Amino acid sequence: MTTSTATHVETRTDLRTRIVGALGPATILAGLVWAVVQPWRITLLHPHDQGFWWLFVEPPLLVVLAGLAFHRFVARPLLEDLAEG
């Protein structure tokens, strides 16, 4: 294998690692931006006549939770496996 091929493969792997590592935080940031841009979606700010599930299941909050779960349970183990390989 030539040096240029090895460098190309290493650069591609590094790019993949960065992308996988950035997906969770980017999703969390998107949920927070969504909550700031459309605050009326978060009924916790004005919970008049709202039931538990209406308050608990908020789309921006679910996006933040999905980003946290992805980062913790998918991205970290995947990045550890990529580092070992």
pLDDT tens series, the chain, 85 aa: 555 555 555 677 788 899 999 999 999 999 999 988 988 777 665 667 777 777 677 888 899 999 999 999 999 999 998 888 6
**Residue numbers of the domain that contains 21:** 3-84
Task: State the pTM of this model.
Answer: 0.74
Which residue reads 């931006």 in tokens?
A: 33
- Confidence (pLDDT) at 8: 58
- Confidence (pLDDT) at 39: 81
**What is the maximal distance between C-alpha atoms in the chain?**
68
Per the structure, the count of domains in the chain is 1
Which helix (H) or strand (E) segment holds residue 2: the answer is none
